[in-house]
Amino acid sequence: MDTTTSFHPTTSKTGPYSMRLLQPHELLQLYDLNQLVAHDPANKAFLNPQTQDFLAQCIQPTTGFTIGVFDQDQLIGYRAVNYTSKHIELVPSPLVAPVYYPKTAHFAGVAVAPAYQRQGIARHMVSMALYRLYNQGFRYVTVRVRPTHEQSICLFTSFGFQIVYLKTSLEPVKECFFLLKELTPNDYKLSVGQAHFHLSVL
């Protein structure tokens, strides 16, 4: 299901912005935005610079999808989603039964260009990602967030994510919170607060 939406940001001198899935031929735009945000002094503590090979995997339809937000033709934000959650088996089984491991996705990288931050773009991308995952039959979604990034924690918990404690600590990500959300029919709705999405292609 390919969906293109448009929305008006909460505060902006421009807009509306468009939001859709990124395609493989847009890899360079994705890479440039990742590098811009990762090396920005205000954001580099929350986003790692990635190689083009890594980002190419994020826009392959067999392994996941990446949502892009555009201001006209300029990519200003992205949210990558993987169809597998690497550490889901470490979540206590009362929370996620092993039978649902294949139905658990993972929110990977996210970035919004510095000039476009604090306009609700990240929230719209989360809403769209949940919408797509629910429609594709996924049951759960996970994400890792650094404890110091309070804004991201507030964003995800507002969508129903909960911090969970894994059965075994993960050395490479020990300084991150592991959040889990069960997808529900409410995630089928493409709306965020007072901003409504307008579907143009289904």
What pLDDT shows up at residue 104? Answer: 95
pLDDT of 135-172, one tens digit each?
A: 999 999 999 888 888 888 999 999 999 988 766 665 55
Helix-helix angle 150-158:121-135, to 10 degrees: 40
Three-state DSSP class for residue 32:
helix
For each of the chain's 202 residues, which pLDDT tens digit applies? 455 565 556 554 456 899 999 999 999 999 999 999 988 887 766 677 888 998 998 899 999 999 999 999 999 999 999 999 878 888 887 889 889 999 999 998 899 999 999 999 999 999 999 999 999 999 999 998 888 888 889 999 999 999 887 666 655 555 678 899 999 888 766 544 434 333 333 2
**DSSP string for residues in 114-149:** GGG-SSSHHHHHHHHHHHHHHHTT--EEEEEE-TT-
- The 10 Å Cβ neighbour count of residue 151 is 11
What pLDDT shows up at residue 103? Answer: 95
Eight-class DSSP state of 69: E
Alpha helices, DSSP H, located in the chain: 27-38, 52-58, 121-135, 150-158
Q: Scanning the structure block, which residue is given the tokens 């409504």?
A: 196
Domain-by-domain residue ranges, the chain? 5-196
CA pair distance 152, 54, nearest whole angstrom: 23
CA pair distance 154, 187, nearest whole angstrom: 18
CA pair distance 13, 42, nearest whole angstrom: 22
Q: What share of the chain is helix, strand, coil (3-state, %, to 5)?
A: 30, 25, 40
Q: Scanning the structure block, which residue is given the tokens 């059965």?
A: 167
Structure tokens at 66: 């990446």
What pLDDT shows up at residue 48? Answer: 77
In CATH terms, 5-196 corresponds, of 3.40.50.410, 3.40.50.2300, 3.20.20.70, 3.40.630.30, to: 3.40.630.30
